[in-house]
Structure 1
Amino acid sequence: MGKRLIQAGLLLLLPLMLVFTFATPDAAAFTEEQKLFNEVWRIVDRAYVDSTFNHQNWWLVRQRALKQPLQTRDETYAAIQKTLASLDDPYTRLLKPDQYRSLQTNTSGELTGIGLQIAQDSETGELMVIAPIEGSPADQAGLQPSDRILKINGFPALELTLDEAAERMRGPVGSMVTLTVAHEQQEPKDLTLVRDRITLNPVLADVRTEGGKPLGYIRLTQFNANATAEVAHAIARLTQQGVEGFVLDLRNNPGGLLQAGIDVARYWLDNGTIVYTVNRDGIQDSFSAVGEALTDKPLVVLVNQGTASASEILAGALQDNGRAQLIGEKTFGKGLIQSLFTLSDGSGLAVTVARYETPNHRDINKQGIIPDQIVSLAESGDRLHVASDQDPQYLAAVEWLGQQSVIANAP
């Protein structure tokens, strides 16, 4: 099958992905365009999570499509996209070569654009903000989780696929893009953003003295290629500095590499299941904690609507294993796993192949994870006040950790 790389997410909504190369036998009677279409059809036929293919005859779908006079690559891409759309699954999609390269770059630690993670509402088709990358043009413009993007440079977002929308937001450093955005029930407004080069440094960590006690604060913004080592270094450094507890901030973390999420869970857990995966045949697999955790200090995990995908796996694992207190707001609810296949022409194909469950077998897709303590961020908790005395979720975490310190020191 080739090389596998387990991932969580698009730098839109970074979906859970297995990445590998898939080759299909040539069919002598097919044109090159038909061969590419058939390659995609076979992958979906063998791997898609729903064996009913959205209650349609998948073979008949293929036969009808191959009767089309596919003469150009664009016509073939259009036929593939139409076929995939019949599955009514926004996460199963074609990635043209430039989109595929961009996706691969997203987990490497650097990208060019406005720094915005997006998803498509499966019911309304609306383009939704998952979270802006901290310090990015989107963050500086004030975009927030659950904002609706109505237009991109005047073009209706409802007429675009997720990847087409992402493509329109990308561009050279210094170029501009105008988004028409609606926040909650407010009137839509136009925001003009200047694209920039965005370095994805996923970890911010320091010691906070709260109530006379040293606490370790770790903010993890994405599970990219740097995240695992950076979190380990942060835990070790803060432990050496004598912290008495930790706050792990996963707010607005849209996901990233799945293996990184699993490894970070293992840093906090000595044993226990981290996540279950379930394929279309109902067969379960699991990932578990193995070995000694890096710390046993009390832990609070902060979550919100922008906590998605691999972040939800981590939060769910720590909550179900009783390792952490979750504080904040209900998470996004992304519980599906995609495999990413490299096609013969250099494009990619993302296919939903399974769903995942938390250690207590909770299916959080479209439902999210409910924190142990619900605290609204409110308007006072914007990006300028994160983890400060104006951040009610952070203050709730400090209060809870203070209570644990009192319990630990009680005679």
Structure 2
Amino acid sequence: MTITKRAIVLSATAAAVTAVIVTGAGLHLSKSQAFFRESPKEIVDEVWNVIDRSYVDGTFNQVDWKAMRMQYLNRSYATKEEAYKAIREMLKKLGDPYTRFMDPDEFKNMQIDTSGELTGVGIQLAADEKTKKLTVISPIEGSPASSAGVLAKDIITKIDGKSTEGMDVNKAVTLIRGPVGTQVKLNVARGDRELEFQLKRAKIEIHPVRFSVQKSPTGGNIGYIRLVQFSANAAPEMREAIQNLEKQQVSGYILDLRSNPGGLLYASVDIARMWIQDGGIVSTVDRQGESDRENANRRALTDKPLVVLVDGGSASASEILSGALQDNKRATIVGTKTFGKGLVQSVRGLGDGSGMAVTIAKYLTPNGRDINKHGIDPDVVIELTDEQRQALVRDRDKIGTAADPQFAKALQVLNQAAAVRPQAESKPN
């Protein structure tokens, strides 16, 4: 299975890439075929064909997919909107919240976190696979949502007073987005509490990597790297961070993937290769059982001790990276269980300007673990209380410091690893 950089997205977000594959271009059609392509039924059939060719589950969730085609093409559609409603109804039968249809406006407005800039409040959304409720995967660090205190696993119950019961993720994204400077009110369920957030929309510039040198209690220096997204510039920024910290002769590293919702597959592979000298990184398996395996390339930038911080907002590409580091015994994973999103989507443009995301494969860790719905279990578990979490939200400068309990634990684990490690060169041969 060939993985292209443009089309493959590993993210639990409601956003989508804008790379398109327009079908039917350049064909010479008969009059009857041309009429069919211009009718609302054409887009229904186009979506059906994409699923029929590419969907990861060859049983289509135990649905007779060929019968679905006849059922939906035998209907009459007076408008494209009626066809769009039917498409969403058809896709719902797959039971997969990540396979979704976007009308032209939704497809145009939805952005994946690869451009380095977003407009909105900075929330990553998905429909919970069991409850179908709109769930926050992660607020983007530094965004209006993050600054206001929105947390991973929060359930959005209302948007500007409109109930989200049964609401499609794409519809929710459309309602939340809007012009910079305008406001949107979100009602959120957090456990048994109901919260309300008044958020001002903003342009969010994203630099996926930040790093610093931290003093260890034992007197040495350690490198702290926080990665917030696997965007197109994540790998080059990560390389720069490691090379800079190596020059400062740090004794080890803490890589913070907390609340990182994922992003591009190739970014996670490239970053894994900076830490892993030999071994597997990830394999993707489609419905034919074909597997594409990505391996280390013997070009790791450092072999110094590494601790990785994760939590329930660490999803998809974050889980690929942490799973690869864990299976190769390259790092100790500290924090709480990750989100559990082990599916690969391809985002495609359709003939009328609409688009769809279709789950085409699942990914496995080097040891063959399927982490979808389960997640990565940390080697060392440390939970944050609500009070500790809120303190970090109120003062984000405390993240990655001694005032951050999970970071403090990671530092302890790193010091133990560095103490038992013999002195060696910083870069693998």
TM-score range, shorter chain: over 0.9
Shift of 1:118: 1.4
Partner of 2:282: 275
Is 70-79 or 213-222 further displaced after alignment?
70-79
Partner SS state of residue 307, structure 1: coil
Shift of 1:68: 2.1
User: What is the TM-score normalised by the length of structure 2?
Assistant: 0.90
Q: Which amino acid counterpart does residue 263 of structure 1 have in structure 2? A: D
Q: Is the 8 A contact 1:4 1:18 kept in 2?
A: no
Q: Is the 8 A contact 1:10 1:106 kept in 2?
A: no
Q: Which amino acid counterpart does residue 290 of structure 2 have in structure 1? A: I
Identity of aligned residues (%): 46
- Which of the numbers 380, 392, 396 marks the counterpart of 2:388? 380
The answer to whether structure 1 residue 173 and structure 2 residue 173 are counterparts is no
Q: Deviations over 1:193-218 (max 9, x none)?
A: 11011011111101011221101000
Partner of 2:49: 42
CA distance in 1, matches of 2:271, 2:229: 12
User: What is the TM-score normalised by the length of structure 1?
Assistant: 0.94
Q: Is the 8 A contact 1:246 1:299 kept in 2?
A: yes
Shift of 1:56: 1.9
Partner of 1:198: 204
Q: Which amino acid counterpart does residue 388 of structure 2 have in structure 1? A: S
The aligned length equals 408
Q: Which amino acid counterpart does residue 13 of structure 2 have in structure 1? A: L
Q: Which amino acid counterpart does residue 45 of structure 1 have in structure 2? A: D
The answer to whether structure 1 residue 392 and structure 2 residue 383 are counterparts is no
Shift of 1:85: 1.1
Q: Deviations over 1:243-298 (max 9, x none)?
A: 11010000000001111111000000112111111111222221111132011111
Q: Which amino acid counterpart does residue 83 of structure 2 have in structure 1? A: T
Partner of 1:182: 189
CA distance in 2, matches of 1:176, 1:204: 29
Shift of 1:355: 0.8
The answer to whether structure 1 residue 91 and structure 2 residue 92 are counterparts is no
Pairwise CA RMSD? 2.1
CA distance in 1, matches of 2:308, 2:351: 42
The answer to whether structure 1 residue 311 and structure 2 residue 318 are counterparts is yes
CA distance in 2, matches of 1:84, 1:52: 14
Shift of 1:180: 0.7
Q: Deviations over 1:3-26 (max 9, x none)?
A: 8614434572568x8965152476
- Which of the numbers 353, 365, 372 marks the counterpart of 1:358? 365
Gaps (5+ residues) in structure 1?
none
Q: Residues 293 and 31 of structure 1: is their aligned pair in 2 closer, same or farther, counting only changes over 3 Å?
A: closer
Q: Residues 318 and 94 of structure 1: is their aligned pair in 2 closer, same or farther, counting only changes over 3 Å?
A: same
Is 123-132 or 230-239 further displaced after alignment?
123-132
Gaps (5+ residues) in structure 2?
424-429
Q: Residues 229 and 104 of structure 1: is their aligned pair in 2 closer, same or farther, counting only changes over 3 Å?
A: same
Q: Is the 8 A contact 2:14 2:169 kept in 1?
A: no
CA distance in 1, matches of 2:257, 2:195: 28
Q: Deviations over 1:128-168 (max 9, x none)?
A: 11111111110011011111111111122122111111111
Partner SS state of residue 256, structure 1: strand
The answer to whether structure 1 residue 8 and structure 2 residue 9 are counterparts is yes
- Which of the numbers 127, 135, 155 marks the counterpart of 2:162? 155
CA distance in 1, matches of 2:74, 2:265: 40
The answer to whether structure 1 residue 207 and structure 2 residue 208 are counterparts is no
Q: Is the 8 A contact 2:18 2:108 kept in 1?
A: no
Q: Which amino acid counterpart does residue 274 of structure 2 have in structure 1? A: Y
CA distance in 1, matches of 2:12, 2:285: 24
Q: Is the 8 A contact 1:21 1:342 kept in 2?
A: yes
Partner of 2:63: 56
Is 386-395 or 4-13 further displaced after alignment?
4-13
Is 232-241 or 344-353 further displaced after alignment?
344-353
